[in-house]
């Protein structure tokens, strides 16, 4: 029966819009996820809880060939490290050099940035004895 469907040239035109609609809509799922790696300087932090908040970083985007300031959510699942050891959101300070990975989720024209991993570059010597 399906063989006869494709014997009719108009059948292709009838099915094509349905296939395109499914492909565009993604069946209600996110359009795409992208993981980007960046290196830059912390411009601002905004703590929501002890383990969550937002981090704003100034970095150079090779894709756009310019310096960009971007803000990402920091979640309890975000790995934060300093000097090879686990660190906390409170350890993130303005002016610090960091590198890491950010997940970019695109959904209906909106983009959501979530920090996956933040590595604090270099350590500041602690004062005191």
pTM of the entire predicted model? 0.69
Residue 111 three-state SS: strand
pLDDT digits (tens, 9 = 90+) for 62-109: 888 999 999 999 999 999 999 989 999 999 999 999 999 999 998 888
Q: Which has more pLDDT, 9 or 120?
A: 120
User: What does each C-alpha distance from 47 to 44, 51, 87, 107, 111 come to in angstroms?
Assistant: 10, 8, 15, 25, 21
pLDDT digits (tens, 9 = 90+) for 19-70: 433 444 444 444 568 999 999 999 999 999 888 999 999 999 888 899 999 9
CATH architecture classification, 30-120: Beta Barrel (2.40)
């Amino acid at each position: 029966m399906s063989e006869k469907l494709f014997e009719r040239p108009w059948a292709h035109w009838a099915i094509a819009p349905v296939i395109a609609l499914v492909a565009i809509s993604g069946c209600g799922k996110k359009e795409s996820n992208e993981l980007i790696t960046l290196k830059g300087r912390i411009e601002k932090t905004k703590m929501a809880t002890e383990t969550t908040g937002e981090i704003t970083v100034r970095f150079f985007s090779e894709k756009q060939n310019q310096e960009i300031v971007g803000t990402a959510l920091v979640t309890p699942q975000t790995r934060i490290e300093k000097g090879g050891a686990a660190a906390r959101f409170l350890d993130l300070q303005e002016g610090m050099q960091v590198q890491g990975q950010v997940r970019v989720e695109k959904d209906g024209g909106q983009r959501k940035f979530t920090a996956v991993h933040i590595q604090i570059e270099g350590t500041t010597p602690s004062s005191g004895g």
